[in-house]
Amino acid sequence: MTRRDFVVQGGSLVAAAGAASAAAEKPSVAKTKALVPLTSIRRVEADGVTVFYREAGAPDAPVVLLLHGFPASSFQYRELIPRLADKYRVIAPDLPGFGFTEVPEGRQYKYTFDALAKTILAFTEALNLKHYALYVFDYGAPTGLRLAMAHPERVTAIVSQNGNAYEEGLGDAWAPIQRYWREPTPENREVLRGALSPEGLRSQYVDGVPHPERIAPEGYTLDAAMIARPGNMEIQLDLFLDYANNVKLYPAFQEYFRKSKPPLLAIWGKNDLFFIPPGAEAFRRDNPNATVQLLDTGHFALETHVEEIAEAMRQLLAKTSVG
Give catalytic residues, as residue numbers: 299
Distance CA 211, CA 206 (A): 8
184 strand-pairing partners:
none
Q: Provide the pairing of β-strand 89-93 with 63-67.
A: parallel
Closest CA to 38 of 16, 53, 63: 16
Q: Which three-class secondary structure string do you get for 117-177? A: HHHHHHHHHHCCCCCEEEEECCCHHHHHHHHHHHCHHHEEEEEECCCCCCHHHECHHHHHH
| Euclidean distance between CA atoms 91 and 68, whole angstroms | 11
Q: What stretches of 31-107 adopt beta strand conformation (E)?
A: 39-46, 49-56, 63-67, 89-93
Cβ 109 vs Cβ 237: under 8 Å: no
